[in-house]
Structure 1
Amino acid sequence: MRYKIEVLDSYTQKPGVLISLVVTLFSALLLVSSLVSREFHFYNSESIAVPSLIFEFVYGTVLSFLILRNKETYIHLTSFLILNWFIGCFCLNTLIPIFQDLPIWVYVATFTFCISNFFIYRNSDESANTPYYFFLNGLSFTIILYFALYLIPAMPYSFIGIIALGLGFYGLVPALVIIIHTLTVLRYLTRNRIYFISFGAGFSIIIVSLMVFTIGLNIESNKIAKTAMVKSFSNDDDLPNYIAVSQNLKPNFFNEILLKKNIVYTGPDNFFSFDNFNSFSNQQFNERKTHNPFISIAYLFCKDLGLSNDDKINILKSNFDKRLETEEQLWSGENLFTKSIKEDVKIYSDSRLAYTEITMNIAAAENSRRDQEAIYSFQLPEGSVATSLSLWVNGIERKGILTTKEKAKKAYNQIVGVEYRDPSLMQWKEGNKVVVRVFPINNKTPRTFKCGFTTPLKVEDNLMNYQSLSIKGPNISNAETISRIQIVGNTKIETSKDFELKNGFYINQSKGLDDWHANMPLNKIRSNSFAWKNKVYEVKDIEKTVIPFIPSEIILDLNTNWTIKQIESFVNLDKKNMYVFINGQKTAINKENFKAVQLDFEDFHYSLLPLYKLAKNSLIITKSGTFSANFEDLENSNYLKKIKTETKERNIKVINISANINPFWQTVKEQKYVDYFQTSLKNSLKMIEQHQFILFKSAKNTVNIEPAQISIQENIKDSILKSNGTNHIYRMYAFGKVLEEHVEIQGDTLANNQYVELAKDANIVTPVSSLIVLETDEDYKKNGIEKNVNTLGNASINNDGSVPEPHEWLLIIIGSITLYFYYRKNKKQTI
C-alpha cells in the first residue's frame, strides 16, 4: 500500500498532472450533474454542461499544443487528454443529442477505457496487474470503435463545426483516439505476448457476444418477416395484417427488442436524425427512448419486419402486456415512484364477495420540479368491479363522482392539459383492467389516492379463493407495503404469504406488492340480501341447467396450448362434422389427418375465430391461453363489426377446457355473444357424447357471478326479506347488468343513459361510466358533472352495510328527536 502511495505521489509531481486532475474532476462533476438533471427533468439541465465544454475546449487545446511542442515533457498527460475529450463529447451530447439517450453501461464502458489507459500508457516497470488492464482495455475499446464508425457520416459537418465554433472537433474525437490508441498500444502488444492475449481476449468477448446476440435476433426477425410476408397474401380483409404476426409470435426477449425498433431503441436507418422518435406512429408508447449500441449494431443484420410502428405497438400490447405503456399520457411520469401501499381486504364469506381498498402514496425524485402524471393499471380477478376513488387535495380526502366516461375524460384532459390542476380519473378497460390517473406530482407535492374494488371469491374444489390484485405503475418494487385482511364471520383462512393475527386482523408488512391468495372453506349460501330503493338483492346459489344440444358443427379452436392427446380424444368421437379453421378456411379434422393438422398450430398462440361465418347452433371447443388481441385493438376492423352484428343470432356454444381465459374470449363471454361454459376435458367429451350443454340459468332480474358460483336476484322488497348483507351485493348486480346489456346499447343514446344512471346509482366504473375527482365543486359545475345524489356513493372498508330507506330515515329522525327531548326533560328533573 505504501508503495502505491509513493507511486501516486511521484506521478502527481509530474508537470501538468495536478491541474489536469482539477479540470477532470470539475468537468466530470458537471457532466454527472447535467446527466442527472436531464434524467430527472430539472430545469436548465443543458446549461450545466456549458461550463464543462468551455473548460474542456480550453484545456484540450492547450494540452494538445504542449504535447505536440514538447512531447518528452507532457506525453504522460495523453490519458488525461483522451478522458477529457470524451467528457466533452458527452457534455456536447446533452446539448446536441446526436446519440439520444445512452444507457448507463455506455458511460461505464467509455470511462473504463479511459481509466485503463492511465495504467497502460505509464512509462514505468511492468506490473502483475498489467494484463488485467489490457483485458479491460480490449473489452471497452469496442465502444470507441462504435462511436467512430457511427460518426463517419457526420465528419464533414464536424470540420465545418471546427471552423464555426470549435465544437465540431468533438465529432472527430473517437477517430483521433483510435489512431492515438492503436499506435500506442501496438508498441506494447508486439513486445509482450501476454498483453496481446489479454487485449485480444477482452476484445473477442464483446465481438463473440455481439455475434451470438445478433444471430438470436436475426433468427427471430426472419421468423416474423416470413410470417408477415406469407400472411400478406391472405384474402381475409376482415382482420388487420398485424394480427397474423401476433397470433404466431411467442413472447420472448428477442421479439420484444425487434418490436421496439424505432419505438424505444434507435434503429440504424435513423442514425444521425435528431428527431429519431417523432412521427413514427399514431399511438403513444411511454417507455424511455434509448440509443443502445449493442442493439443498434444487431439491427443492421436483421430483416425488416414489414410492420408499421402502429402494428408493432399493437403486438406489444396484446403479446407482451404493454397496454399501460400505450395509455395516453399528457405529462411525463418517468421520475415518479410509489412510496407506500396500504392493501386492505375485507372478506364477506357468506356472500362470496370481497372488497379490496388500495391506498397509494406517490412521490417524485428529490429535486424534481416539473409536474408529472402518474398512471396505474389494476388487473382485477374475473368479474370484479371498481367501486371507489378518492384523492387527497390540500390534505383533505375528496371522493370521486361518477359520470359518463366521455364527460370524465374531457374534464380530466381540460384540467391536466390546460389548467394544470388537481384531478384523478378512474377508467374501465377491457380484460378486467382499471386505469387510474393522478396529477400533478412533484418533489414538493407527493400525492395520495385511494381506490376500491369489489371482487367475487372464486370457487374451486370446495374452497373459496381470494386473489390479490396485480398492479402496474411508477416503481412499485420498493414501496413500503402493509396488507390487512379482515373477515366478516368465523371463516378459517389460509394465505400464501405470512400474515400475523393482531387485534382480530391479519397483518403483513413487506416491500413492493406480492402476488398472493387466500383460501377459505366453501360456505353454503344462507339468507344474504341487501335492500335498496324498494328493491332487495338476494344472493343465491347459481343454478345450472342441462339442455339438449346437438351441434350442427363442432369447431376445435386449436392453438399451441393443445396437446396431441387432447386433439386425439375429440377426433376419436368420430364425428363427421368436426372442423378447424386454417388460414381462415374451415377444414375437416379426423383420425387420419389430425396429426398433420396439429403441425399447423404449433406456433399459433391464440385465434380469432370468424364467429359470424359459423353455422347456427355450432359448438366451439377452445383451450384458451392468457393473451390475445381484444375488442379495443380491433375497434376499426370489419371483423369486429361483423362479430357485433352477426354473431348473437347464431346461438353458438363454447366450451373452454382451460382454467385460463384470454381478453378476446373474456369480452365475448361478458357481452353474451355466445353461451360459454368452462369445464374439464373429460366433462366436455361427455357433454358431446350425450348431446348436452350446461347453461347457467338466467332471468331478467338475475345476474350470475360465475367465478363465485352465485347469482344475485332482484325482487320487490317485502316484509319477509331483511337487508342483512353488504352493499357490494347491489354493486355486483348493477355491474353484471351493465356488462350484459352493453352490447345492446351501442349507438342508442337513451338506452346508454339508462345504464349510466344504473352505474351512478351503484357507483361503479363500467364501459359507460368513470369516476373522477376534481379540485373544487366549481370544477364539477364547469364541466357539467353533477354530484351523485341518493346513490350508494363510494364504497368504503368501514361502511358497507345496509343503507336506510327514505321512510326508515324518517323513523330514525323521529326517534332521535324523541330521545333528545326525553334526555332534556330528565336532565331538568335531576337539576
Structure 2
Amino acid sequence: MIYGIIVFGIGFMMISPVSAFISALFFRSYLRDMAVSEGRKFSVWQGIIVMLCVFGLFEIHNQINVRGMDMAAFGNSDEHIRGVKLLRAFGSESEMLKSCYGMNRRNNIMFLWQDVFKKNFHYLWDDMPSTEKWDMPSTKRSREIYYRVTGKPFNSVPPPKYSSRSEWWDSGLGGEKVSQKIEGLWLNASRLDGKIEPDAATSYLEWTMVFKNDSRIQQEARAQILLPKGGVVSRLTLWVNGEEREAAFSTRGKARAAYNSVVHQRRDPVLVSYDGADRILMQCFPVPPTGEMKIRIGMTSPLTLDSKDEGMMTIPRILENNFGIAEGFGHSVWIDSKTPLSSSEKSLISTEDGFVLKGDIYESFSDASVVIRVRRSAEILSAWTPDPTDNTSAVYQTIAETTSQPPNQAIFVIDGSVGMKEHIPAITDALSLVPAGVRYGVIFASDKTETLSSSASEKDMQTIALQLKNADYIGGCDNVSALEQAWDMANPELNPVIIWIHATQPLLLKSAEGLTQRLQLNKRGGWIDVQAAPGPNRIIKVLKKTDKPEILSMSKSLGDDIKRILSTSKQKQFEFSRKNLRKEEVESLKPDVQTSSHIALLWANSEILTYYKAGNTDEAVNLASRYRLVTPVSSAVVLENKQQYKDAGLEVPEYKPGKDYDFNDVVMEDKNIGGSAVPEPATLWLLFIGIVLAGIWKMWKNRSVTDKRLS
C-alpha cells in the first residue's frame, strides 16, 4: 500500500500541510509526556523562539538585500551610495539579477506586512518617507543598481535559470536596446569575409551570422556591433526559405515601423540601425524554435594610415548581445588584398604570397581588438570612382600629410569601475613617465568624483600614479560628472586634450545634457576615448551631433597607446579628402588610380553626417537613401515578401550575384520577390488539425449514411 501511494499517490501531496499539522500535535503530546516522566518543565514558547530564530537566520540576508535595493533605488544621493555599498558587502547578486528581469517578488514577512499595511493604513503609508516604504524598484532601476554594485551589465551573465519566465518573457522584443539575455538563443556560426583595396585605402567586410534557438518559442536576436573606425553599413541581407534577400534603406522611423509591423505578424524581418559613432544595433526575428536564422551585414570603411606605405583596420566586434556565444566558439575569417597582409591575431595565418589572411578566431569578437595591417604604395595619393548614382559625376579622393600640434594641457579621466582593475598597472606605468612641459589634470570617477590634480607637473604625476594604483576599483561608476569637470578644467588657450580611459559604460547613470552643452560650446580642444575593457558605451551614443570624442584604435598595449597620445614631438597624420565633382573635372586632375565605388560611399557618409550635425535632415535622408547607407537618419530592413515592402512604402532592391560585391551590383527593382514558399510552423499545425477534423467529419458522415441504409 505504501509503495502504491509513493508511486501513484502524487495527489496526496496537497494534504501534506494537514498531515504535517497532525504529526506536530502528536509529537507535541509525546514530548510533553516524556518531559513530565523525567521531571522536567515543558514549555511551548522555547520551541517557538527557536523556530523564529531559525527562520530569522534565513530571512535576514534577504531583508538586507531588500533594504539595500530600496536605499539605492529611492534614496537621495547619499542614501543611494550607502545602499550600493551595503549591497556590495552583503547583497545577493542572484536576487539582484532576478529584479533585473522583473521576477523578484518579495515572498517574505516584510512584503506580506507591507501589503497589509498599505491596504488597511493607506493614510499613514502615503505620509511615510520613500525610503521607509520598501517599494519594488522598476526593472530599469534594478539594472542600474546591478551595474553599480557588480560593475557588469545585467545581460552579460546568463539569466536566472530556475524561472521559466526567462524563456518566454522578452521585454526588449522590437525595442531599441539589446536588453536582457535570452536563454537558449545562441550564435551558431560566424564568418567574416573581407577585401582590402590598398590603393584606395578602403576595406569592405561581410559578416555572416547564423543564430540558433534551442527554446520552445520564437526569439529575437539583438546585438550592438562596433564597426571599423569610420565605417558604415552599406549592405544587409537575410535568408528567407534558403534565398538571400536584400535590404531596403529608408528613414529610421519608417524602417523601424516596417520591422515592428512584421514582428507583430511573427514573420521574418531583420533591422540594422545607427547606435552611436561607429556602432550599429542589429535585431532579427523570429529565430524559430529549434531552428536557425541567417543574416549578412556588409561594412565599408577607410584604412587608418600609420604611414604612406602602411594602413590598418580593426575587425568589427560584438559589444553587447542578448544571445549566448559558447566557450571555444570559432569565428571564421578570410581577408584578401593585392598587397601583403599581417595581423595582431596569431590564429590568422597569411598565405605564402601574403595576399590572403585566414583562420579561426576562438575568442569572442567582443574580447579584444583584432588589427589587420596592409602594405600599400606610398606614391598613390589620389584615387577616383564614378558616382554610382549619377553617370555624369565622380568622387575624387586625396591623401594629405599633416602635422598635429602636441597639447599643452592633458586631463585624464580615469574610470573607477571594477573592469579597470586589471588595466591599472599599465595605465599607472604610462602616467609615471609622461613628458615634461605639459600641464596635467587627473580626475578619478568613483562613487563620488574626485579631482586628484588640476595642474600637475610630470614629477607630480608619479605620486598621482601611485594614488591610482592603490585606489579601490569596485562596481560600476558614473563617468558623466567626471567628464563635465574635465571640460570645466580645460583651458582653450593651452590646446587641451581630455583622455578618457574607461571600462564598459552600459548605462547612462546621469543625463548627458550638461556634457553635450560643454562639447558644443568648446570649439577648441580634443577628447580621446580610450576604452580599456570591451562592452557598450551609452555615453558615446547620446553625443550624436558633436565631433567628439575621437575613438582610439586600440593596439594590444594600452600603455603604448597612452604614450603615443602624449608624445610631445610633432606627429604626422594622414587625412582623407573626398569630393563629388563632374567627371571632366576629375579627369583633368589626373588621379593616380581608379578604384571601386566604396570611396563614393565614404564620401556620402561624411556628407550625411555634416548635414545631420547642421540640422539639415532632409538632405541627409536623401543622400542616405540614394547611396543605401545606415546613418543617424536612416536604417536598413529586410522583410519577407513583396507585399510587406509595399505595405511599408519601401522599395525593394535585388542583388545580382557576382565575384565581388559592389554598389553597382544592386539595382532598384521590384521583381522576383514573391511570398514565402514554405508556411510558418503555426500554419502547418492549423493545416494538419484541419485535415484531421475534416477526416473525422467525413468518417462520421459515411457511417451515418451506412447506418441509414442498414436500417
Which bin holds the TM-score, normalised by the shorter protein? Answer: 0.5 to 0.7
Please state how far the C-alpha of 1:714 moved relative to its aligned partner: 1.3
Please state how far the C-alpha of 1:401 moved relative to its aligned partner: 0.2
Say yes or no: does 1:320 pair with 2:170: no
Say yes or no: does 1:373 pair with 2:228: no
Deviations 1:187-225 (A, max 9, x none): xxxxxxxxxxxxxxxxxxxx9xx99x979x989997996
Amino acid paired to 1:360: M
Figure out how many residues of one structure are paired with residues of the other and give that number: 554
Answer whether contact 2:204 2:300 (CA < 8 A) is retained. yes
RMSD of Structure 2 on Structure 1 (CA): 5.7
Answer whether contact 2:480 2:539 (CA < 8 A) is retained. no
Q: CA–CA distance in 2 between the matches of 1:571 and 1:627?
A: 28
Deviations 1:317-353 (A, max 9, x none): 7953457999721599644444433332333333343
Say yes or no: does 1:357 pair with 2:206: yes
What are the within-5 Å matches in structure 2 for residues 6-155 of structure 1?
17=3, 19=4, 23=8, 55-57=9-11, 60=12, 85=13
- Residue matched to 2:315: 467
Q: Match for 1:752 among 617, 632, 643? A: 617
Answer whether contact 1:423 1:775 (CA < 8 A) is retained. yes
Please state how far the C-alpha of 1:655 moved relative to its aligned partner: 5.3
Say yes or no: does 1:735 pair with 2:572: no
Amino acid paired to 1:557: V
Q: CA–CA distance in 1 between the matches of 2:357 and 2:438?
A: 55
- Residue matched to 2:257: 410
Deviations 1:258-286 (A, max 9, x none): 642522485573459999xxxxxxxxxxx
- Residue matched to 1:145: none
Please state how far the C-alpha of 1:723 moved relative to its aligned partner: 6.8
Distance 1:333 1:602, change over 3 A: closer
- Residue matched to 1:346: 195
Of all paired residues, the percent bearing the same amino acid is 17
What are the within-5 Å matches in structure 2 for residues 91-490 of structure 1?
167=14, 169=15, 231-232=77-78, 257=94, 259-264=96-101, 267=104, 269-271=106-108, 309-314=139-144, 319-322=151-154, 328-330=172-174, 334-365=183-214, 368=216, 370-417=217-264, 419-430=265-276, 432-443=278-289, 446-457=292-303, 464-470=312-318, 472-477=321-326, 483-490=332-339
- Residue matched to 1:191: none
Please state how far the C-alpha of 1:405 moved relative to its aligned partner: 0.8
Distance 1:537 1:178, change over 3 A: farther
- Residue matched to 1:625: 502
Answer whether contact 1:752 1:768 (CA < 8 A) is retained. yes
Answer whether contact 2:73 2:141 (CA < 8 A) is retained. no
- Residue matched to 1:769: 634
Say yes or no: does 1:653 pair with 2:511: no
Distance 1:346 1:730, change over 3 A: same
Q: CA–CA distance in 2 between the matches of 1:229 and 1:459?
A: 51
Q: CA–CA distance in 1 between the matches of 2:626 and 2:147?
A: 33
Answer whether contact 2:339 2:376 (CA < 8 A) is retained. no
Distance 1:795 1:722, change over 3 A: farther
Distance 1:363 1:587, change over 3 A: closer
Distance 1:574 1:416, change over 3 A: closer
Answer whether contact 2:655 2:666 (CA < 8 A) is retained. no
Q: Point out the structure with the larger helix share.
A: 1
Q: What's the secondary structure of 1:269's corresponding residue?
A: coil
Amino acid paired to 2:413: D
Distance 1:652 1:663, change over 3 A: farther
The structure whose Rg is larger is 1
Q: CA–CA distance in 2 between the matches of 1:589 and 1:659?
A: 23
Q: CA–CA distance in 2 between the matches of 1:258 and 1:654?
A: 43
Say yes or no: does 1:785 pair with 2:650: yes
- Residue matched to 1:496: 346
Q: CA–CA distance in 2 between the matches of 1:540 and 1:449?
A: 35
Answer whether contact 1:657 1:681 (CA < 8 A) is retained. no
Q: CA–CA distance in 2 between the matches of 1:544 and 1:474?
A: 44
Q: CA–CA distance in 1 between the matches of 2:398 and 2:26?
A: 83
Distance 1:574 1:681, change over 3 A: same
Q: What's the secondary structure of 1:344's corresponding residue?
A: strand
Moved more, 761-770 or 339-348: 339-348
Please state how far the C-alpha of 1:734 moved relative to its aligned partner: 2.6
- Residue matched to 1:713: 578
Please state how far the C-alpha of 1:559 moved relative to its aligned partner: 4.0
Distance 1:327 1:425, change over 3 A: farther
Amino acid paired to 2:503: T
Amino acid paired to 2:100: I
Q: CA–CA distance in 2 between the matches of 1:512 and 1:264?
A: 28
Please state how far the C-alpha of 1:388 moved relative to its aligned partner: 1.5
- Residue matched to 2:702: none
Deviations 1:271-303 (A, max 9, x none): 59999xxxxxxxxxxxxxxxxxxxxxxxxxxx9
- Residue matched to 2:484: 610
- Residue matched to 1:523: 376
Q: What's the secondary structure of 1:350's corresponding residue?
A: coil
What are the within-5 Å matches in structure 2 for residues 535-550 of structure 1?
535-541=393-399, 543-546=401-404
Q: CA–CA distance in 1 between the matches of 2:27 and 2:400?
A: 78
Deviations 1:567-610 (A, max 9, x none): 676797585x9685896798964569986895797546745422
Moved more, 387-396 or 316-325: 316-325
Q: CA–CA distance in 2 between the matches of 1:625 and 1:392?
A: 38
Q: Point out the structure with the larger strand share.
A: 2
Answer whether contact 2:503 2:531 (CA < 8 A) is retained. no
Q: TM-score, normalised by structure 2?
A: 0.61
Moved more, 615-624 or 542-551: 542-551
Deviations 1:407-453 (A, max 9, x none): 11112222222x33232211221364322222233348643322222
Distance 1:517 1:410, change over 3 A: same
Distance 1:173 1:623, change over 3 A: farther
Amino acid paired to 1:56: I
Answer whether contact 2:225 2:318 (CA < 8 A) is retained. yes
Q: What's the secondary structure of 1:374's corresponding residue?
A: strand
Q: What's the secondary structure of 2:504's corresponding residue?
A: coil
Distance 1:627 1:382, change over 3 A: farther
Amino acid paired to 2:598: H
Please state how far the C-alpha of 1:256 moved relative to its aligned partner: 5.4
Distance 1:646 1:493, change over 3 A: closer
Q: Match for 2:537 among 650, 657, 663? A: 663
Gaps of 5+ in 1: 1-14, 24-54, 61-84, 86-166, 183-206, 234-240, 276-302, 697-708, 746-750, 807-831
Distance 1:176 1:613, change over 3 A: farther
Q: What's the secondary structure of 1:351's corresponding residue?
A: coil
Amino acid paired to 1:663: N
Q: CA–CA distance in 1 between the matches of 2:359 and 2:529?
A: 36
Distance 1:389 1:596, change over 3 A: closer
Amino acid paired to 1:311: R
Q: What's the secondary structure of 1:624's corresponding residue?
A: strand
Q: CA–CA distance in 2 between the matches of 1:268 and 1:440?
A: 30
Amino acid paired to 1:414: S
Please state how far the C-alpha of 1:394 moved relative to its aligned partner: 3.2
Answer whether contact 1:377 1:473 (CA < 8 A) is retained. no
Please state how far the C-alpha of 1:771 moved relative to its aligned partner: 0.6
Deviations 1:660-697 (A, max 9, x none): 5983675588744557596965566665xx9x9x797x
Gaps of 5+ in 2: 29-53, 113-132, 160-169, 176-180, 553-559, 668-711
